Chains A and B, each alone.
Chain A
Amino acid sequence: MAKTIKFRLDGTAVEALEGETVLEAAERAGLRIPHYCWHKALGNPGNCRMCVVEVEGAPKPQAACRLPAKEGLVVRSASPASRRAQSAALELHLVDHPLDCPVCDQAGECGLQDYYMDIGRYPSAMREDKAHAAKRVPVGPHIMLDQERCILCTRCARFVSQVSKSHELGIFGRGHNEAVALVPGRVLDNPYSGCLADVCPVGALTDRDFRFQVRVWYLDGADSVCPGCSRGCGIRVHTSTRRPWHNKGRRLARLKPRFTEVNGHWICDEGRYGYADFDTDRLGKVMRLKDPSAELGWDVVCDEVAVAIRQGMLKDPAGLAVVASGGLSNEDWRAFRSLFVDALKLERFLFAPEPDQVGEQDELLRRRDKVPNLEGGKAAGFGTQIKSLDWDGLAGEIESGKVWGLYVVDRDPVKVWGERGRALAEGLSLLVCQGPRKGLTGGLAHYRLPATDWLEEAGSFTNFQGQVQTYLPALKPLGAARPDWDIFSALEKAVNG
């Protein structure tokens, strides 16, 4: 065990680990000292001077982010002298700041606004004209740069050199002309570029995707897990439902990283921007293809589906195939196994990825499998005892008449099969489509069972390292949609009669 060092901060006893600075120890203890440039994952250049604190015995204020914790140190971060020093540092940051909060997307979650209200509130002594710089520069596909709002904390430059290692941004010039800019000839286009909007403590780097869609004070949030790949990064989901005319009517506003052991402080752009069409093509109604306008209840349809399955299985018990996705939660997998393996004793399963569900992998976060819960499926026996068919194999078995029925969960086989998909689907005597979206399969299915998507339910994913992480609902289910596990168990009841 590392040695602990005890010191006092604003009258509270704080324990620091050996080698920690006063600021790090304070953050770990949940005490806040103002700061911009220090970031837990990006180091402490000590250039913003916002964390200046009074230290007993020291003649001048010290920067808490560069001050090693020492036994018996007495630190005051909220004393009048410290506040005056912090307020002076803030005033210096705002000397050339354009004060365009009304049009700035960061307003409401901006470090400058927060500290001004907290420790600033000074009448400005600035009588000179402000220096102007470039505004609204689209530096990359996801990020907009405003040099005037930048406080030169260098977090962004450290991110691109230490984390994404792509080195697109730098700090150029000095003194009054110092500015953040792209390295000549480069664009800010790396797989983690969205994180720059998170690390920038002010409105200098903002998210182009989120820009002007909704003011941050109208957002609601919930803790969730990204389903974009088998890493399962922790995310905070921000939704806009109070005023439906904002955000182009979409309920999901943005995804932000949430610190967990799994992903640290970051998430990748594929995950962050992958859900713009979350609410398109959604299923909300239980439906039968024969009379699509009929108002059906879950009981009726579960019974009908159960009867169709039972009747088909009387003739050919092995001819029903199930297509499942790696997007199912652990709870879904358990109910899935209970229905299809334990109760119905089926043999043909397909849970291999769709061709576009395999992608790039890198050292930092991204994984090859673009589905969140393959491990959860394995724990339920899929991929271990039970083998998966492949897409061509299944198509062949339908063509040869070995498979008469298909139960599809959150997948779109008709799309995967391309041109012959339609004929294959029409050749089946039972096609059930369960899932949050209709897709091409939903248009041909005999029964459509609307399921909630991951943002509308609680559940857990097991990532590739075996970490089980829970996610909480951020949105209400649409229409009659129910979680997948709930549909499986209702169906199991109906099947067992």
Chain B
Amino acid sequence: MPVSVRPVARPSRGLWEQVYILEVVRGLGVTFRHFFVNLWRHGLKLAGRATEPGAVTIQYPDDPAVLGRRARTRHRLLRRADGSPRCTSCLLCETICPAKCIHITAEESPDPGVEKRARSFDIDIGMCVFCGHCVEACPVDAIRMDADRVELAAYSRTALIWDIESLMQEPR
């Protein structure tokens, strides 16, 4: 799978942004707004007048990231009982993917009961928009985005392309 790159224009800066002092004051305004709003919410919680506290700082990466139960994180491909991939290479995920970042090629499976399987299955995670459509589209529940891994950074664009092996190795 070749690396794909989309150039994006940088936002331009007007005079207002270039006079830094004004932007600094605006930024501090945001900081102080959050400070006082959260102070107020924590106060309400302490006084027993609210169920949820204000925002809490998580010491990531020293503490693990807290993910919602339905968070969509990196993909994984599930296996059958015999260890072979569940994917039937129907290409429905590739078809639905709005980012066109799934590339699959199919081949004949040696098992006549399986018939068709993926020869290659690549996801360019650098292009993925984490919409989860691929998971919804799969008719055999072969692809999921529940690996709960969000550290996806890599040193090159090619390393952001995951092949079938790495997608299948992903532990739950």
Contact surface of A with B, Cβ cutoff 8 Å: 100-103, 107, 135-136, 211-213, 215, 217, 243, 245-246
Contacts and interface: CB of A to CB of B under 8 A. Distances in A.
Contacts of B89: 103, 212
Nearest to A102: B90
B115 interface: yes
5 nearest A-B residue pairs (beta carbon): A102-B90, A103-B116, A212-B106, A103-B115, A102-B88
B95 A102 contact: no
15 contacts: A101-B90, A101-B139, A102-B92, A103-B115, A103-B116, A135-B112, A135-B113, A136-B112, A211-B108, A212-B89, A212-B106, A212-B116, A217-B95, A245-B1, A245-B105
Contacts of A245: 1, 103, 105
Query: Among the interface residues B89, B92, B105, B140, which one has the most CB atoms of the partner chain A within 10 A?
Result: B105
Contacts of B107: 212
B168 interface: no
Nearest to B114: A103
A107 B92 CA distance: 11
Nearest to B120: A245
B115 A100 contact: yes
A409 B95 CA distance: 42
Interface of B is mostly: loop
A211 to B, nearest CB: 8
Given A102-B88, A135-B115, A245-B103, A212 B108 contact: yes
B105 A102 contact: no
Contacts of B143: none
Contact of A215 (B88, B91, B112, B139): B91
Contact of B90 (A103, A136, A211, A243): A103
Interface of B: 1, 88-92, 94-95, 103, 105-108, 112-116, 139-140
A102 B139 contact: yes
B127 to A, nearest CB: 14
Interface of A is mostly: loop
Nearest to B138: A102
Query: Among the interface residues A103, A135, A136, which one has the most CB atoms of the partner chain B within 10 A?
Result: A103
Contacts of B113: 135
Contacts of B112: 135-136
Nearest to B103: A245
Given A212-B89, A212-B107, A213-B106, 17 more contacts: A101-B90, A101-B139, A102-B88, A102-B90, A102-B139, A103-B90, A103-B114, A103-B115, A107-B90, A135-B112, A135-B115, A136-B112, A212-B106, A212-B116, A215-B91, A245-B1, A245-B103
A135 B114 CA distance: 10
B164 to A, nearest CB: 14
Nearest to B100: A243
Contacts of B105: 245-246
A215 B95 contact: yes
A136 B115 CA distance: 7
A217 B112 CA distance: 25
A217 B91 CA distance: 11
A256 to B, nearest CB: 21
Nearest to B87: A102
B140 A102 contact: yes
Contacts of A215: 91, 95
Contacts of A217: 95
Nearest to B113: A135
Contacts of A100: 115
A134 B62 CA distance: 58
A365 B122 CA distance: 45
A107 B91 CA distance: 11
Nearest to A215: B91
Contacts of A136: 112, 115
A264 B94 CA distance: 37
A245 B113 CA distance: 26
A215 to B, nearest CB: 5
B55 to A, nearest CB: 44
A243 B104 CA distance: 10
Nearest to B91: A215
A354 B114 CA distance: 46
Nearest to A212: B106
A215 B114 CA distance: 18
Nearest to A208: B108
Given A135-B115, A136-B115, A103 B95 contact: no
A403 to B, nearest CB: 48
Nearest to B119: A212
Nearest to A135: B112
Nearest to B112: A136
A101 B113 CA distance: 14
Contacts of B140: 102
